[in-house]
Structure 1
């Protein structure tokens, strides 16, 4: 059976040739041609015969096929109409796969889960995401608070490092905090560019986001909390006090900002990248008390 898998260079070329398929750069199409990498992804994602899976961008079905073998049900969202007849062909043997021709950013995924999966079934998102739109997709999925346990995704290594970044590192920033507010993030493996067709210019990583039931910090106002974080990283080389002075220009003067930071127990000469999420929560909650109601 193994030599029949979609995820081999020979079979992939065969399928692409049969359908005269050409890659669309605008859709960031890079197809995986290594079965062992796919099986590793599935192992890390914890997929079993009891689990249901949402996949994004199935391509010609390389990952979808492996998911179909290991999971109970798979629903795959594909935006490129040219791939629909190919998927119908390559996944024809798997009755537990549904392909939906829709942009994941516009989809009501909660509704799809309710329609396609059993009630209370454990659901995971597993995908090889197009690099150009990774962040909007992941932020939508985790912010929508979907009834899913985890997201295990192949993305650009640099973005995976940023999403899982720790304080006092180059990778740590507002994206790290936004992702880690909703989920626990860890890079579970790195993937060389050689296992893709065509080869991308960057290395990839598998990032796993385990959805939190509760945020790790209590904030008075979520939107304001994220605004403070963004402002604190506006110019990475600048101190917290300087970045916040720009943000609150015309609202609070430097002395007032210094005073509020002291109330929060934070030294204003620190840089944003040195603050933990708990410290950002303290800063945001302290400043929020002074917001015009």
Structure 2
């Protein structure tokens, strides 16, 4: 398996497209750890984003009820169809994942898991879209740039903690599966990667009266990290007296910075502002 990806790339004389962020896995141990970490079984309908030449896809197909792969690069479609033709539980669609209607794809499926080696240049938009879309994924097991994984798993009062940390932790429990070195890919990326699993919570981690306001407050709090909460939130257009009253009601010092607030504190502040508006 170590050379299987290389063999397929060579067999079809496939040319990597840098703009699509294509880095294909060549490490058998990493493939097995992804499948094991995703806890895929015969009940699962698996969505794979960016299957490459299908080496991870093949391992998923052996364990899952069905694998639906979404691939943007049309040059890879015939390769995948040929290499995976022995699997009746395989389906491929040639589309940009950010334009896919997952509710239409998933229909009556009960146990849906997403597995992906995400292109680094669209990691955050994909994660945001999948979590905010209210789709019925049980989990997302994704390989992403280490820097992004650190931000996702970050706690308050750390430099990595920010809007992405709170977005993911609002919807999911986070589990780090393993680290992956650049040597595990062709071509080699310049950074280390992390396989991380996001288990969707049955309901969001905190009770929020207005999600749009909640995330707007979070984004404003981190847009200028060194600003105090007071200065960061003034730009939201909220009446200053109302903002001051809300901060006082939830016992948050206006001189604190956003990076010091827990998700519970952001929820309390958001809910109080909503009540006062």
Residue from 147, 152, 168 that aligns with 1:163: 152
Is 1:178 matched with 2:173?
A: no
1:159-212 CA deviation, whole Å, 9 max, x = no partner? 111112111111110111111111112322111111000000111001111111
Give unpaired runs (5+ residues) of structure 2: none
Q: Name the residue aligned to 2:141.
A: 152
Q: Name the residue aligned to 2:253.
A: 267
Shift of 1:229: 0.7
Shift of 1:256: 4.8
Q: Name the residue aligned to 2:262.
A: 276
1:204-238 CA deviation, whole Å, 9 max, x = no partner? 00111111111121122110111111111121112
Alpha-carbon distance in 2 for matches of 1:113, 1:264 = 41
Is 1:50 matched with 2:43?
A: yes
Alpha-carbon distance in 1 for matches of 2:52, 2:14 = 11
Is 1:258 matched with 2:247?
A: no
Q: Name the residue aligned to 1:223.
A: 212
TM-score, normalised by the number of residues in structure 1: 0.90
Is 1:92 matched with 2:85?
A: yes
Q: Name the residue aligned to 1:112.
A: 105
TM-score, normalised by the number of residues in structure 2: 0.95
SS in 1 for 2:174: strand
Equivalent residue runs for 1:63-142 within 5 Å: 63-114=56-107, 119-142=108-131
Contact 1:161–1:187 under 8 Å retained in 2 = no
SS in 1 for 2:70: strand
Tell me how many residue pairs correspond in the alignment.
Answer: 277
Contact 2:6–2:26 under 8 Å retained in 1 = no
Shift of 1:103: 1.3
Shift of 1:120: 4.9
